[in-house]
């Protein structure tokens, strides 16, 4: 489990409108800090650049580690536009198309260090998981459900494994996907539709992450606080 961090930067997606929540999700308090602060702390601990993908919202003043503020490739065009902006920055830094970018939405508790553990565990079962070449995967993302603890390799065009709920904004994307992203923007906004067009690996996470990966409404947030034993 002491493999090096296999990605060149960590993109934290924090540019959503939070309409259903009614207040900015990155600033929601959980025990000891906000969601965003926890994500930044975890990403910074891995000694890779932290890309704060918040488009017109600049949260750098409320975190304690240096971050690169990334604007969406096309403003208000959804998370794929944020992903394109982060990939473009990485390519500008000289990283090659076969390198990986870690992507995490900040509206849940699973952080960069947790993603690293999941990926390292999967690579114990399949050491060549992140290698390039014919038939290689270009996306690795997490899922809950019947895939718990497992690893599925899914060819392009195939749906998610039966019984699983995929989280495409918790995973790794190969930088070579930038051109495909640019081709489909701004029309494409559905992340899973884009992901299902790629060869990908789906890593099942432990059952205790259920309800902690994606907060959309005040009810989701209150349920999370109850799980954590915190006061709403």
Delimit the domains of the chain by residue range.
9-228
The reply to whether CATH 3.40.50.300 applies to domain 9-228 is no
- Output the pLDDT for position 116: 96
* Percent of all residues in the chain with a pLDDT value above 90, rounded to a whole number: 68
* Confidence grade of residue 173 (pLDDT, cut at 50, 70, 90): very high
Tell me: the pLDDT tens digits for 85-103? 999 999 999 999 999 999 9
* Confidence grade of residue 150 (pLDDT, cut at 50, 70, 90): confident
Catalogue the long-range contacts made by 213-217 (C-beta closer than 8 Å, 24 or more residues apart): 213/108, 213/109, 213/110, 213/142, 213/144, 213/167, 213/170, 214/105, 214/107, 214/108, 214/167, 215/21, 215/25, 215/28, 215/35, 215/107, 215/108, 216/20, 216/21, 216/107, 217/20, 217/21
Residues 6+ away with beta carbon under 8 Å from 11: 51, 53, 70, 82, 83, 86, 101, 102, 103, 104
| Mean pLDDT for the chain overall | 90
Q: Note the pTM of the prediction, 2 decimals.
A: 0.93
Please say if the pLDDT value at position 140 is more than 80: yes
Tell me: the pLDDT tens digits for 188-207? 678 999 999 999 999 999 87
- Output the pLDDT for position 2: 60
The average pLDDT across 175-199 equals 90
Q: Are 214 and 170 in contact (CB under 8 A)?
A: no
CA 213 to chain centre: 10
Tell me: the pLDDT tens digits for 55-96? 888 898 889 899 999 999 888 788 999 999 999 999 999 999
């Amino acid at each position: 489990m002491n493999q090096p961090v296999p990605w060149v930067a960590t993109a934290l997606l924090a540019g959503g409108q939070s309409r259903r929540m009614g207040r900015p999700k990155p600033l929601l308090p959980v025990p000891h800090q906000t969601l965003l602060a926890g994500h930044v702390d975890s990403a910074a601990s891995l000694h890779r650049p932290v890309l704060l993908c918040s488009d017109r919202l600049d949260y750098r003043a409320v975190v304690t580690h240096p971050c690169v503020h990334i604007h969406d490739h096309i403003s208000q065009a959804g998370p794929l536009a944020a992903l394109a902006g982060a990939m473009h920055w990485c390519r500008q830094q000289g990283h090659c198309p076969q390198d990986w970018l870690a992507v995490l939405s900040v509206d849940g508790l699973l952080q960069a260090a947790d993603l690293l553990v999941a990926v390292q565990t999967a690579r114990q079962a399949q050491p060549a998981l992140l290698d390039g070449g014919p038939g290689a995967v270009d996306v690795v993302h997490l899922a809950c459900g019947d895939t718990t603890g497992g690893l599925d390799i899914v060819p392009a065009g195939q749906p998610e494994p039966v019984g699983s709920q995929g989280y495409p904004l918790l995973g790794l994307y190969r930088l070579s996907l930038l051109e495909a992203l640019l081709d489909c923007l701004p029309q494409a906004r559905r992340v899973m539709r884009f992901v299902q067009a790629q060869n990908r690996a789906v890593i099942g996470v432990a059952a205790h992450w259920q309800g902690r990966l994606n907060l959309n409404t005040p009810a989701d947030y209150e349920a999370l606080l109850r799980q954590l034993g915190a006061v709403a």
